[in-house]
A and B are shown apart, each in its own frame.
Chain A
Amino acid sequence: MEITERHEHDVLVIGAGGAGLRAAIAAIEAGASVGLVGKSLLGKAHTVMAEGGMAAALGNNRPEDNWQVHFRDTMRGGKGLCDWRMARAHARESPDRVRELEAWGALFDRAEDGRMNQRPFGGHTYGRLAHVGDRTGLEMIRTLQDHAVHEGADVFMECTVFRLLVVDGRVAGALAYWRPTGEFVLFRARTVVLATGGLGKAWKVTSNSWECTGDGVALAYDAGAELMGMEFVQFHPTGMVWPPSVRGTLVTEGVRGEGGVLTNRDGERFMFRYVPEMFEGDYAESEEEADRWVEGDRVANRRPPELLTRDVVAKAIVAEVEAGRGSPHGGVFLNISEKRSPEYIKAKLPSMYHQFKELAGVDITTDAMEVGPTTHYAMGGVKVDPETAATRVPGLYAAGEVAAGLHGGNRLGGNSLSDLIVFGQRAGAAAAEEARGVSLAEIPAAELSAAVAGATAPFAREGGRNPFGLQEELQQIMQDKVGIARTEEALRDALEDVHRLHGALDDCSVDGGRAFNPGWHTWLDLRVMLTVAEAVVLSALERRESRGAHTRIDYPDSDASLGRVNLVIRSSDGRMATDAEPVSEPPAELRQLIEEGV
């Protein structure tokens, strides 16, 4: 099979969501020619679904806010496992990155003094999220997309990269196929930025789209990079639970940020019972205090416990349901109708209003929503240098959700959109800088034909397994055995299952041609998802404690010694091996800042 098309760029960016677009812009600003490859149409990447906002210590609503407070919130939210250098860069640079979006045409909601408004979110000491109602991701991706196109990015839409090419130890390009035609494309580049996003599609109940198969994690691993923190998968506390066809669809944390309360079957606001020791004294202790805060008196009162970090809220909801205090369809109630007027709700949460009205027949201005946890975000991913976003494979960078380090054991809401633009910019700039001193490498023809032959293998088989069936099986396994609450036994089972499914890939067959063939695409995605699943299961087995988003029923407590290490995965003799690496200790003044506050 022929490779019908070849392209050359200084920097190849894989992934066209927020991080990829921002990396492309930074690389172009630095003088590089940039190829930007995305699996969907431009502007449809998962960033478009981000709802609540983008965290940046602008200090617009509360002048007390600054990068130090944001840094501290991020470090504490990550339960000790964040890379302090990344957390510091993120807190310091996010305000400039957000303001820059405005210069490129983004229009964020305003405060009364005409500056950007900032919304409260879980784990953030002050209202900190620049936002546009509940469609912040749309505003961000549209702004970046138009800016990148006008800046001259060479955009390849609906094109899937399935192999990174490494020559003499350096990344030299990537091999991809056009989704509409099935033709193969070779991209040669001096440096490559992975910005492929998340991996939540490996679970059955998920807020993630078909794209979130963890491509970058598997591509990087196969190219020799290290993975880190793969056990930390965030289960967002509030996904829709009913009707069945929308189970998992995200309900923004903005509902709680705007005053929404969580109650159980008995009408109790149960979150008051789930404030962890670490955050004692930081949250309201009575409904009256929480109400006064929602009504606007934010200096004298503390924020409601519904705004605890996502790991805490998700586990509380599971505990309530397991105790028999859940809602009719196995969730809990989230109600904003008693705290805000219908006009306010429709102005601040318009897409939530429509989503519930049109998909569930529920009017959130008068009735409660039913919500429960949904697979949402990977804190772990490709291990990178905290300053440049470089992986250990020369020439290969990673930024955004595919990269690990910033969020540790739990990500704060709003920190992902800012992550995308802070580290997208850093990765793009560093990749362009390195590209200046590198020449394009020749790719051995044998390697290309072997990769193409591997990718097209299921067309040669007949009457084999349907890839959709295999995908469904994997999703059920991850849901049942690698979900919020994990045990040694279930994880061991899951590991066996993953190995078995890996073998079953060779039993699958695909009918039809290569042009826009979802069965074939799903088979190719499965190769990736199984690598990701194995990394998650191995890391989850190895972390014998409960911390942040990772909960082990058989090890319910945190283990201080494990709180000082990250689990790193690398390929060793063709097998996945895990290793514990110490978390880098922040300097004394930052340690004091984390422990004692600003």
Chain B
Amino acid sequence: MAERTFQVYRGSDDEGRLESYTVETDQGMVVLDAIHRIQAEHAPDLAVRWNCKAGKCGSCSCEVNGRPRLTCMTRLSDYGEDEPITVTPMKAFPVIKDLVTDVSQAYRNNASIPRFKPRPRDADDGWRMQQYEIDRAQEMRKCIECFLCQDVCHVLRSHGKHEEFIGPTYLVRTAGYSLNPIDVEDRSEFLRDAGGLGYCNITKCCTEVCPEHITITDNAIIPLKERVVDRFYDPLKALVRLVRRR
């Protein structure tokens, strides 16, 4: 098969450069295969994260020609024969080395979400739920934590608000809990304050890059925003709460 040249980012957060590598390519190859071939033949210390190589674990996220992609699901044949292919790390995160970024803040954000809290069991053997009741929550549970939506979110990518805003990944996670029909936790206050939900101004970039095709903005973020509005800003409900408190 044909040879192909790749530009790959080498270096750390402080300094780095694009290096050029040429390898043989085979039919059906994906970008991650090319990176592995470069590793095996030219640069054994080229750092890249990966696990499943089947789009299920969300480890191998990078930017290919500037677009956030799972490199294991990005086929070389998607690019024209003479089109250059450049692979760089996710821009919204600090680079550890080469294509590997520091995503530890994301895990801290996740840990801050008030945990799932179920209502008492419906029967000795658990809960009764209809499939249609859980379809929406299951959509959120498809998230593979690839961080591509975090990478493309301008609040994080351009403004670096990782500590103020949990980002689309963890809004999806929160929605996964809150849309679970047996969950009884109220996460409105968390979302408004520590979660930084107000930072999102629904530009839908996250939805566009999601490899699991989760409709992040419409099905996760907007319903969460509505809940927060209902909880804190609905004058009728505020009155009811005030009366109840007395």
Which residue numbers of A lie inside 8 Å of B, CB to CB? 40-46, 48-49, 58, 99, 102-105, 107, 109-110, 113-116, 132-133, 135, 137-139, 142, 146-147, 149-150, 155, 157, 180, 209-211, 242-246, 249-250, 351, 354-355, 358-360, 466-469, 472, 510-513, 515-520, 522
Contact = CB atoms under 8 A, between A and B. Distances in A.
A358 B129 contact: no
Given A358-B75, A516-B100, 16 more contacts: A41-B103, A105-B183, A107-B129, A107-B141, A110-B130, A113-B128, A114-B127, A138-B144, A139-B141, A146-B116, A150-B115, A211-B51, A245-B29, A246-B28, A351-B54, A515-B47
B131 A110 contact: yes
A115 B57 CA distance: 28
Interface stretch (B38-46, B159-167, B191-199): B38-46
B97 A511 contact: no
B40 A180 contact: no
Contacts of B47: 515-518
A351 B116 contact: no
Contacts of B130: 110, 114
B52 interface: yes
B242 interface: no
B137 interface: yes
Interface of B: 26-30, 33, 39-40, 44-59, 73, 75, 96-98, 100, 102-104, 107, 110-111, 115-116, 118, 121, 125-131, 134, 137-138, 141-142, 144-145, 173, 176-177, 180, 183
A520 B47 CA distance: 11
Contacts of A104: 116
Contact of A351 (B55, B125, B134): B55
Contacts of B125: 58, 99, 115
Given A110-B131, A518-B47, A243 B53 contact: no
Given A48-B57, A102-B126, A245 B131 contact: no
A132 B128 contact: no
A146 B50 CA distance: 21
B134 A107 contact: yes
Contacts of A518: 39, 44-48
Contacts of B176: 105
A41 B59 contact: yes
Contacts of B111: 149-150
29 contacts: A40-B59, A42-B107, A44-B51, A44-B58, A46-B52, A48-B52, A48-B56, A49-B51, A49-B54, A99-B125, A105-B176, A105-B180, A107-B137, A110-B129, A115-B128, A132-B138, A135-B142, A138-B141, A138-B142, A142-B141, A146-B173, A150-B111, A180-B96, A243-B26, A249-B54, A510-B44, A512-B45, A516-B96, A517-B44
A139 B28 CA distance: 29
Contacts of B137: 107
Contact of A243 (B28, B51, B118): B28
Given A132-B141, A245-B33, A209 B53 contact: yes
Contacts of A147: 115
**Of residues B56, B111, B180, which shows the largest number of chain A Cβ atoms within 10 Å of its Cβ?**
B56
B177 A105 contact: yes
Nearest to A519: B44
A468 B127 CA distance: 50
A107 B180 contact: yes
Contacts of A246: 28, 53-54
Nearest to A511: B45
Given A40-B51, A138-B144, A245-B26, A516 B59 contact: no
Nearest to B118: A103
A180 B97 contact: yes
Contacts of A135: 56, 142
A421 to B, nearest CB: 15
A467 B98 contact: no
A210 B54 contact: no
Nearest to A145: B110
B97 A249 contact: no
A102 B54 contact: no
A240 to B, nearest CB: 9
Contacts of A209: 50-53, 57
Most chain A beta carbons < 10 A, residue from B103, B116, B126, B141: B126
A358 B51 contact: no
Nearest to A509: B44
